[in-house]
Structure 1
Amino acid sequence: MADKQPHLNGAFYGPAVPPPAKTYHRHGRGRGCACCLFTTFLKLLIGIVVVVGVAVLILWLIFRPNKLKFDVNGAELTRFNVSGNQLHYNLALNLTIRNPNKRIGVYYDVIEASPFYKDQRLNTQWLPAFYQGHKTTTVLSPHFDGQQVVLLAGEKLAEFNGETLAGVFDVDVKFRLRLRLKVGAVRIGNFRPKVNCELNVPLKSNANSSPFFQTTRCDFDF
């Protein structure tokens, strides 16, 4: 019986096999999310800074704060002599503080007062805290009495001898403050300004010196 199937003279080709699906790998996806979060945080931070800056500018334009004024109207030096390496001193001051602001009150939470002679601290005194209202003046009377080891040699010793002869001594009195401001019913800030008073104080017991002390405006560094 004859074979009814035809002879295959060539290669047999089956059904077409589909190509494998291509996979894409996205590199750095986690890092991209982190950058996105950082950018969002940075924009938010810049927005907060801008809002706060605008608010501060508006408050400044409304209230126009002025610097506090510190003046030493009187100074009495009844003792200022060196024995060995000990400086004996007795210094009394009359200090006025003026708040020139119309809408801002000031809380003086800390007032640290220290006299210095030739860049050497003599004493430290803490004055009582108080509140100062609008456009008011407060008078303080710090008194420094005691003795302190001082190093006077070379140029400093020559200056001391010259001041002793003239009967007038260069004494710096420095104040370190901690303040809060009252705007309406709101208390703001924790400010730490410094005040430096460069004084020429006559020795009261010296006949050669002038008995008068000239009022001195202190340097206020906010």
Structure 2
Amino acid sequence: MVIVGFCLFLVWSFLNVSFQVIRESTIPQVEVDDVNLTGFMLSPTNNTLYYDVAANMTFKNPYSKVGIQFDKIDADLMYQGQRLGTKVMLDVFYLPPNKEKSNVNVILRGEHVLQLINGDEKLVYASENKSGVYKIGLKVRIVTSFMWLNLNSGRTTVEIMCDNLQILSSMGMFGMRACGSL
């Protein structure tokens, strides 16, 4: 009889927590704390963009009773609607309820041939290069699972876009910027 009562308690508790997750329907919150741009140059001969970007992010768990296990995090560097490169961050971490993890760093470095659709891409780059302020974006893909009482839910994939990050080539980005889901 005690085992049946304990099993009913576990089922009731699991349904209660599941209801909270569905009711809140909140995704993990991501904020870009700062971005440093140490290299961002478009080759005049072959439309190749060379980039070297470092971003520092903070992840927050908005749930009050459920922990979030971050199983995989990918970050894409976006410029003028094109994905420049992907960095897979292999650091798996767990966030208890209502906690945050700061200083999650990603470095995106490489080269990408820009697809010239209407020729405006070079004009936009020239304008940004002259002003020293670049508009880039980070698309963050997160594979998470929810944890409660050592029970794991199935994995969920969430995409979050941090777009229009205003980055000064000499000083980096000012202030913190919250990101929204896609």
TM-score (normalised: structure 1): 0.66
AA matched with 1:203: S
User: Root-mean-square deviation (CA), in Å?
Assistant: 2.3
Q: Which position in structure 2 is the counterpart of 1:216?
A: 177
Q: Which runs of 5+ in 2 are unaligned?
A: 1-13
Does 2:42 correspond to 1:77?
A: no
What is the correspondence of 1:28-107 to structure 2 with a 5 Å cutoff? 59-61=18-20, 65=24, 66-83=26-43, 84=45, 85-107=47-69
Cα gap change, 1:92 to 1:103, in 2 (>3 Å): same
Cα gap change, 1:164 to 1:172, in 2 (>3 Å): same
AA matched with 1:129: V
Does 2:152 correspond to 1:187?
A: yes
2:107 to 143, 148, 152: 143
1:189 Cα offset (Å): 2.3
2:88 to 121, 126, 134: 126
1:151 Cα offset (Å): 2.5
TM-score (normalised: structure 2): 0.79
1:142 Cα offset (Å): 0.3
1:177 Cα offset (Å): 1.6
Between the aligned partners of 1:164 and 1:76, the Cα distance in structure 2 is 15
Query: Which of 210-219 and 140-149 deviates more?
Result: 210-219
1:58 Cα offset (Å): 7.3
Instruction: Decide whether the 8 Å contact of 1:103 with 1:184 is kept in 2.
Output: no
Cα gap change, 1:79 to 1:212, in 2 (>3 Å): same
Over residues 110-163 of structure 1, what are the superposed CA-to-partner deviations in whole Å (9 max), with x where a residue is unaligned?
Answer: 111110111221111111222111221112110111211113452222211111
Instruction: Decide whether the 8 Å contact of 1:169 with 1:202 is kept in 2.
Output: yes
Does 2:165 correspond to 1:203?
A: no
1:184 Cα offset (Å): 2.4
Between the aligned partners of 2:52 and 2:158, the Cα distance in structure 1 is 27
1:67 Cα offset (Å): 3.3
Secondary structure of 2:152's aligned partner: strand
Between the aligned partners of 1:154 and 1:214, the Cα distance in structure 2 is 32
Between the aligned partners of 2:172 and 2:120, the Cα distance in structure 1 is 27
Identity of aligned residues (%): 24
Instruction: Decide whether the 8 Å contact of 1:68 with 1:97 is kept in 2.
Output: yes
Q: Which position in structure 2 is the counterpart of 1:115?
A: 77
Aligned residue pairs, count: 162
